Structure 1
Amino acid sequence: MPIAQILLFGFAITNEINNVNIAILDHSKDTSTLEIINKISNSKYFSIKQIISREAEIESVFQKGKIKAVLNFEKDFGRNLIKKKSAQIQIITDATDPNTANSITNYINAILQNYLQEKNKSIQLDYQIIPQTRMVYNQELKSVFLFVPGVMTIILMLVSAMMTSISITREKELGTMEILLVSPLKPFQVIIGKVVPYIFLSIINAAVIVLLSIFIFKMPVEGSLILLGAESVLFIITSLALGILISTISDTQQSAMMISLMGLMLPVILLSGFIFPISSMPAPLQVISNIIPAKWFIIIIKGIMLKGVGLAFVWKETLILIGMTVFFIAVSVKKYKIRLD
């Protein structure tokens, strides 16, 4: 555990950004904009994933969740830079993660300043590029917009998993497992029966968290409350199924609690994108993050609450959670012992 902790904290916790996906909207398409685009693309900090042609596309680009910033070059950018000695560029960032949005803006400004320094070496009157910053979905950069979805995910994940992780192991320790084994109930019926009561308890938890977020922290819900509720129930079932899996492979309540608490807490906090951007992590950790259910739920909840997206934009993440739930339940049924050792 200490080795795992130092590796996770050492590689996952970083204030730097790397390989952030951005899009370009170039109204000018001249030599100057091409030079700036190439300079940004050649840096290790940004990866240009999309070229868009109209401002109307910006909203849909952000709603898909892959692009974190859009650079919007004004018309006649190069001509204005040469004739007027001044040109404008708009930096539009996805501020659902305000820390990352600030970092992206600062990094792009630094690259622009470096470009200007190189240009201004050979002229008497300095060129100027005036950046205009626009933060979408969170113009005031409120940190609560970042923490509420993350805390909601952590609470639902850990509480749900811990509640169910001790359910079957408790039967083993109390000696009541024999009654279940000699009963006509099939393994999947026992497992479903263990999950269902906790679903209702977790739904109450989720409802309380959402109500507190809306009325106390003024968290907006731009999308459908029905879809938000349905996705929350799906994530709850996924977490409970994971808890049942832990319960079936653990022999004691203590070991089940340790696995569900220590084994889930660090990955959920560090590898879900809750606090630290996944794109800035080493490639192995980015791959591992894909098996963390919390990562996909955070994408879903931010999309619904802050961006107002519908199922059409989060269907992929929804299918991944459904697949994980089916996998956890299937493995739990397979691991469920019909005989005591």
Structure 2
Amino acid sequence: MKRFVGFIKKEFYHIFRDRRSLFILFGMPIAQIMLFGFAITNEINNVDIAILDHSKDVTTQEIINKIASSKYFSIKQLIQNEAEIEAVFKKGKVKAVLIFEKDFSKNLTKENNATIQIITDATDPNTANTISNYTNSILQKYQQEINKNIKIPYQIIPKTRMVYNPELKSVFMFVPGVMTIILMLVSAMMTSISITREKELGTMEILLVSPLKPFQVIVGKVVPYIFLSVINAIVIVLLSIFIFKMPVQGSLFLLGIESILFIITSLSLGILISTVSATQQTAMMISLMGLMLPTILLSGFIFPISSMPLPLQVISNIIPAKWFIIILKGIMLKGVGLTFIWKETLILAGMTLFFIVLSIKKYKIRLE
């Protein structure tokens, strides 16, 4: 019995000495519950909207103030005419435009009704529906306030129009997200495991002392995954077009170039993971827990980033998938060109360069 107790004590000592095991045991559950608790929500908060006020009277200003004072919306822009609406949506930040008709206050008092048009970006159908419902709720509350002492009640009539996805097909939201996750899986995780396998078996050092330069060895390891990931991207796009009837409004050539850029970004991230992982198991754990969960939760794939707490919104900026999903939705659903997605493209290119430089530095330190 004493030997058995001694064996148990030894196992405890091993666990407590291994910081990685402790992190997996205690750190991962805490991180996951925090992510799931704060990121998964059907509510919206601080969603950017634009206002087109044709009337510019006291009543419209009161309604605008009501909307601005709610926690749900943030008025990003005041536009002057309908021609600006499409450009505002294509930039990607504004999720809805509220249009007040001309002589709004006059129509409300004389005819007892006035119209507000709510135009939402339906590339994310769930968010579009929620925005419409929240706006209607604010308008109904305002109506109740102004109709307290009026015999013939005033009626504000909201008219909702969804753009880019008028039928609210959920597949339009899921295809870009699934494409991003699959490319991340094949590129980052498989690359990190492939290189870590060589290190674990002791063959990486043999490769690096061969006539090939270290950089050539690394490139040779990742090129097959570029090829496989490109095939995956083509298959996903073809399935989405012919099976799910998803439109590609923009340039297929630009879509291909952006997909290759994201694949290279993911591959460089996989190489970086391999530099800090001694075993395949560790690389797999980092890829799944440290990469896949943030990709799903913090990329805007399912849950709107603007509704998350500020710290998570800041963290989401270092998730490559966030920027690629914006690019995909822009090209496929909005038909935008490089003029509207150049910032996201530069961010992905910058991340790729950073990961590659850091990986090369790590490999030199580890293997020299």
**Both structures adopt the same fold (TM-score exceeding 0.5):** yes
Letter in 1 for 2:39: A
Give yes or no for the alignment of 1:298 onto 2:325.
Answer: yes
DSSP 3-state at the match of 1:50: strand
Give yes or no for the alignment of 1:29 onto 2:53.
Answer: no
DSSP 3-state at the match of 1:135: strand
Letter in 2 for 1:327: F
1:139 to 154, 166, 170: 166
Contact 2:186 2:225 in 1 (8 A): no
Compared CA separation, residues 254 and 163, structure 1 to 2 (3 A):
same
DSSP 3-state at the match of 2:160: strand
Matches within 5 A, 1:78-227: 78-227=105-254
Give yes or no for the alignment of 1:286 onto 2:313.
Answer: yes
Partners of 1:239 and 1:340 in 2: how far apart?
23
Q: CA offsets per residue over residues 250-278 of structure 1, 9 Å max, x none?
A: 11111111111222111000000000000
Letter in 2 for 1:209: I
Contact 1:221 1:304 in 2 (8 A): yes
Give yes or no for the alignment of 1:276 onto 2:303.
Answer: yes
TM-score normalized with structure 1 length:
0.98
Partners of 1:322 and 1:43 in 2: how far apart?
37
Identity over the aligned pairs, expressed in percent?
83
The corresponding residue for 1:73 is 100
Q: CA offsets per residue over residues 276-319 of structure 1, 9 Å max, x none?
A: 00000000000000000000000000000000000000000000
2:36 to 2, 5, 9: 9
The corresponding residue for 2:286 is 259
Matches within 5 A, 1:33-52: 33-52=60-79
Partners of 2:184 and 2:319 in 1: how far apart?
10
Give yes or no for the alignment of 1:241 onto 2:272.
Answer: no
Partners of 1:178 and 1:10 in 2: how far apart?
44
Contact 1:181 1:339 in 2 (8 A): no
DSSP 3-state at the match of 1:54: coil
Pick which of 254-263 and 115-124 moved more. 254-263
Partners of 1:198 and 1:96 in 2: how far apart?
30
> How many pairs were matched up?
341
Partners of 1:329 and 1:69 in 2: how far apart?
39
The corresponding residue for 1:228 is 255
Post-superposition offset of 1:231: 0.4
Partners of 2:367 and 2:80 in 1: how far apart?
66
Letter in 2 for 1:106: N
Partners of 2:215 and 2:314 in 1: how far apart?
31
Q: CA offsets per residue over residues 74-125 of structure 1, 9 Å max, x none?
A: 0000000000000000000000000000000000000000111000012111
Partners of 1:99 and 1:327 in 2: how far apart?
35
Letter in 2 for 1:313: F
Post-superposition offset of 1:338: 6.2
Larger Rg, first or second structure (1 or 2) = 2
Letter in 2 for 1:115: Y
The corresponding residue for 2:9 is none
DSSP 3-state at the match of 1:157: helix
Partners of 1:109 and 1:229 in 2: how far apart?
40
Letter in 1 for 2:261: L
Letter in 2 for 1:220: P
DSSP 3-state at the match of 2:97: strand
Post-superposition offset of 1:187: 3.2
Contact 1:158 1:264 in 2 (8 A): no
DSSP 3-state at the match of 1:91: strand
Letter in 1 for 2:78: I
Pick which of 160-169 and 63-72 moved more. 160-169
Post-superposition offset of 1:177: 1.8
Partners of 1:337 and 1:168 in 2: how far apart?
15
Contact 2:113 2:154 in 1 (8 A): yes
DSSP 3-state at the match of 2:105: helix
Letter in 2 for 1:178: E
Pick which of 254-263 and 272-281 moved more. 254-263
Pick which of 252-261 and 131-140 moved more. 252-261
Post-superposition offset of 1:340: 5.1
Compared CA separation, residues 28 and 232, structure 1 to 2 (3 A):
same
Partners of 1:215 and 1:169 in 2: how far apart?
38
DSSP 3-state at the match of 2:162: strand
